[in-house]
Structures are given as structure tokens and as C-alpha cells.
Chains A and B, each alone.
Chain A
Amino acid sequence: MTSRKIEVLVGLFVALAIAAFMLLSLKVANSGMTGSGETYMLYAKFENIGGLKVRSPIKVGGVVVGRVRSIELNTEEYSPVVAMEIDSQYNNFPETSSVAILTSGLLGEQYLGLQPGFVDETVSILKSGDYVEDTKSAIVLEELIGQFLFNRGSN
């Protein structure tokens, strides 16, 4: 085995490994945030977050515009506060916008659906650090079944 042949084969081996790493990091993993990476924060207070997790997607009309940064419990009212990290590209949400915790499919993961509201002279645009006032909590299946049984009982 000549030294040149060995060098070529080792080079091929390393190139193959680099190709594998590229495949893994570009095709398999998510490449962090969407867009440029510049983000701003919005907050929303819920009654119940259900199965929402940190890094759950935030979608507007099905398009991912950001991810949940953190979920903490407000110590005054004991209600969960969700910090939303949203791509700066989408920084034009009016304060009449609403967020709801939705589920993709029957058993799928939960995500935040952001619904832009109407705009007129009296409505201002949400800035970084603002709270979205209009929120809809997650639907908890047990509560729903309980309500259904309760309604049937009273009929």
C-alpha cells in the first residue's frame, strides 16, 4: 500500500464524516429560530397551559413565528405566565391580538396560536415586553368530559 493511496483513503473517510455531520446538522436538526435570529418577547397570562412546553412553537395561521421561551407561575395570582420569543420580522401585532393554546391533531403536541386583531387609531402595536391580554387556555380533556357528564345529569 503506497502512502499516497493511504492518504487518499483517509481523506475520503474524513470527507464522508463531514458529509454525515452536515446531513445531521442541516437536515435532521432544527436550525434554531426561524429567520435572522433577531427576536423580541411578548407575554401572556393563562388560567391553564395544559401540556404546553418550553420551545413549543407559536403559529400565526399555521406558520411558525416563534417559540415559547419560558413558562413561570405568577406568585400573586398563581396563574401561569408564558414568555413568547417572536421573530422580529413579525413585529406588527396590534394589542387586540389574542393567543390560544391549541393542539395539533387529536393527540399531537400543543402549540400557541396567535391571532392578529383589528387595527384602528386607538389601538397601539405590541412592543417587546408587552402582555397579550386576550388569552384562551388549553382545553383539558378531563374537564371537558366532566362538564359533559354534568350537563347530561341535569337534563
Chain B
Amino acid sequence: MIVDKLQQLGQHSIAKVQGIGRATIMLFGALVAWPTPRKSFPLLLKQLYVVGVLSLLIILVSGLFIGMVLALQGYTVLSKFGAEQMLGPLVALSLLRELGPVVTALLFAGRAGSALTAEIGLMKATEQLSGMEMMAVDPLRRIIAPRFWAGVISMPLLALIFTAVGILGGHLVGVDWLGVDGGGYWSAMQANVDFQQDILNGVIKSVVFALIVTWIALHKGFDAVPTSEGISQATTQTVVTSSLAVLGFDFILTAVMFGG
């Protein structure tokens, strides 16, 4: 019946809105408090290591390969027009504006986001979070806040590293292998890349993606059904939801920043 469908739709919408509300309350509780640097800095440092440093390898390797593939494919087309000189701008602009922030966010969601969700979900399942509350330790402050800040800080840094390594990878293939002029590679890049328009907008993008991915990962873990099945579902949802959110927001941000 049509009324049943309507009811389903309503139920679904209410559940979504409630989810967003719970996520906001969680974030608010974690972040809005008197800062206690002496207590929270070591926690943040530990999370920076887990979230940032341990993601470094996958970021370096995939950045290198994406830069190399871009140069290889770009060269195929550009050499048809005798415009190999434009290989530098092609690699630099596509990495700075799109691929750096977006691919880093997707990899980050898969590498660090899923781990965050599983960790917090398991803490909830084994009642560690309730145990903390029993000891008058606020789990939002102790568990959520350092992980959130670690994600927000480390992802833009990872995106910068990804982009730089990608441009060097493009240099490796374009200049050292395919024989594009090395001076032209850098000078055409400098002529076409603008600090504010390209680099700063790329950094803004990666900050937005960092907020989205980390927030979704933490919320899914914190909100997980405390069973083994619930945790596995939450982990899957983290990767799917944050990837879709990143791609959606990327379109919006690109339209605002570069579209007319």
C-alpha cells in the first residue's frame, strides 16, 4: 500500500535525522570543553602516530604510482599534439586540485577510518566505555576527541605528501623515462599553478574531507550495535558512507571553487 511506503520513508528519514543528531551531540561533547593540554597532548600524539604515521606508507606508494600513471597517460595524448611541455601542469593541477585530496581521503577512510570504527565499536562491545564512565572519565573526551583531532590534523598533511610524491613520480616517468625536458616540466608547472587558486583550495578540500571522514568513522563506531555483527556492519558503513560523502562533497567544492 502507498501508506505503508510512506511510513517506511518517514521511518527511514527519522532514523537518518536521529543519526545525524546523535553524531552532532557526540562531536559537541567531545570537542566543547575546557582545553587541558597537559592531559590531552600525549593522547593526541599517540593517535597521530596510529592514524597518521601508520598511513604514511600506503599514501607514499599510491601517490608515487598515481603520479607515474598520470604522466604516462598524459604523455600519450599530449605527444599527439606536440604539447609534451604541458605534462607538468597536467600532473600538478590534477593532483593538487582533485586526486591529492580525494584519493587521500578514500585511502584514509579505508586505512584509518575503518580501524577507528572497529576500535571504538569493540570498546563499546566490551563495555570499556561504560567502565570509563564508572570511573568518572568522560569517554568522549578521552577516546573520541584525540582521535578526531588526530584525523583532522593528519589527513591534510597526508594529502600534501601524496601530492608532492605524485608530482615527483610524474617527473620520474615524464622526464627520466619518456624524455620530456626537465626544465620545461617545472617551468610550465610554475606558469600554470597558482598558489591561492590551486594549492590553497586543495588544502581546504582536504581539511573538509578530513572532518567528514573522521567524524563518520568515530560516529559509526560510537553508535555501533555492540555485537560482532554490529561492529562488522559499522566498519563497512564507515568506508561506504565516507567514500560517498567525500565524492559528493568533492563535486560541490569543485563547483564552488573552480566552476565559473
Which residues from chain A sit less than 8 Å from chain B, CB to CB? 1, 3, 6-7, 9-10, 12-14, 16-17, 19-21, 23-25, 27-32, 55, 57, 107
Contacts and interface: CB of A to CB of B under 8 A. Distances in A.
19 contacts: A13-B154, A17-B160, A19-B164, A20-B157, A20-B161, A20-B164, A21-B164, A24-B160, A27-B186, A28-B167, A28-B193, A29-B194, A29-B198, A29-B199, A30-B190, A30-B191, A30-B195, A31-B195, A107-B83
B96 interface: yes
Contacts of A12: 53
B108 to A, nearest CB: 14
Interface residues of B, number: 30
Tell which of B46, B56, B161, B194 has the most Cβ of chain A within 10 Å. B161
B242 interface: no
Interface in B55-82: 56, 81
Interface of chain A: mostly helix, strand, loop or mixed: helix
B157 A9 contact: no
B131 interface: no
Interface string B33-65: 000000000100110110011001000000000
A79 to B, nearest CB: 26
Interface of B: 42, 45-46, 48-49, 52-53, 56, 81, 83, 92, 96, 154, 157-158, 160-161, 163-165, 167, 186, 189-191, 193-195, 198-199
A25 B161 contact: no
Given A13-B157, A17-B158, A27-B190, 18 more contacts: A3-B42, A6-B49, A10-B45, A10-B53, A12-B53, A13-B48, A13-B53, A16-B161, A20-B164, A20-B165, A21-B160, A23-B167, A24-B164, A28-B92, A28-B199, A29-B194, A30-B191, A30-B193
Contacts of B198: 29
Contact of B45 (A6, A16, A107): A6
